[in-house]
Structures are given as structure tokens and as C-alpha cells.
Amino acid sequence: MLNPDGVYLGNYRCSLMGFDLNRHWQDPSPWAHPTLHAVKQLIVQMNQDPKVSLEFYIDVHAHSTMMNGFMYGNVFEEEERVQRQAVFPRLLCQNAPDFSLSSTSFNRDVVKAGTGRRFLGGLLDDTSYCYTLEVSFYGYLTTGSTTPVPYTEDSYMKLGRNVARTFLDYYKLNNLTDENKLTTHNSGDAVPAGRQGNNAGNGKNQNGERSERRFQGVREY
């Protein structure tokens, strides 16, 4: 929670001093943006520690105009890195009926250069994945429906749980849960939720090599 003073006053974007904190990651001030400055220092220290594998950064925001939950990711020159970055949103789409893959996009807009997702995407190495998870202030549409479902506190928390489940899918740690059910794709297809993997927790296959997953369909611009 990087904006406690602003939120306490009822702001949903700006800090107490009127700064949009998600535009100052490049050079945060310890005086004007103290929370940002401290978190950036922590991430830089973790990234320099050979004992730490910093694989995911997810910044969570509310969106005032769009529906559903969706993600923003980064654009890279290496096609293989772009494809690997698409894996997590695709898995989340399978777990969360209110997550929109069609609204998920990868970009490198100049105006977003000061966001955490953009800055850390350039700072961290190619084994790290940086996203912004946006969730509508209002509601979401499920597949095949034209009637919006208003978000509630419970449905926001359910999306959070589905993000956690997606990490289990990503690292093939589903055996840690008691759920031996099927998870349903938004398209209506079903996949087993009880898969187990080797080298759990590092995203690698049984040969110690990082698994290569290729997906299409996420917009890039």
C-alpha cells in the first residue's frame, strides 16, 4: 500500500501532496514520495542479492472507465521474452471469469515511463515479469453476457484468490491445495487443476531448464 495518506483522505490516485505516485518510479524523492523511494530501494537491493530470485512484480490499481480485471505488460525486443510474459495473464484468464484477456495489453507508451511496471521492466533481468493488474471500479462482464455484474468486496477478494491460484498453476504447485476440481476457461474448455511439476517454485522443467510457453492473442502496441 504505497498511498496510505492519500487514501485516508479519500483520494484514489494522488498522495497527500497531490502526486500520482505511479509516475515517479524513475527518480522518487525521499521527501515527496517516501513510500515509493523506500520500496524502490528495497527492490534494487533484492535484485542485487544473488540469493534472491525476484521473478514477479504486480502493481494493483483500480480503473475508472473500463470493465473487468485486466493487465498491462511491457514490450521487449526479444520475441521469446514477450511470449513468456504472456503466460501469467493467460493462466489468470483460466482461473478468473471476471478477468479480460482481450483488454490485456503490452505497451511502452512514453507517458507510462514513470510507472512501476515500466521502470522495473527495464531494471530487472529477463527472468522477471512486471505487470499492472487493473480492476474496474464498477463491475465486470462474463463470457456471453451483456449485463454487467457490479463488483463487491467479496468479488474483489475472489479475484485476489484467483491471482494466488494462478501462481500455483504457474509454478505447478497445485498439489498444495485440496481442490481436485476442474477450472474452466472463459471459452468453456476445462483443464485439470491438480497438475504437479518438478523443481517446484522456480518455473523450470525436470531438466533444470526454464520452461518455454508460447501464447498468442494478447494485444501489443
State residue 184's pLDDT score: 43
Q: Is 55 a catalytic residue?
A: no
Which letter does DSSP use for residue 195 in this model? -
- Report residue 146 as a C-alpha cell: 451483456
Q: Domain residue spans in the chain?
A: 1-52, 53-220
Beta strands 129-136 and 69-73, pairing class: antiparallel
Residue with cell 498468442: 216
In contact, 190 and 184? CB cutoff 8 Å: yes
- Block mean pLDDT (10 aa), the chain, length 221: 93 92 96 96 95 94 96 93 95 97 92 94 93 97 92 97 97 77 42 35 43 41 39
- The pLDDT assigned to 29 comes to 97
Which of 134, 153, 179, 212 is catalytic? The answer is 134
Question: What pLDDT is attached to residue 182?
Answer: 42
**Cell numbers representing residue 105 in the block:** 495489453
- Give me the pLDDT at residue 178, please: 66
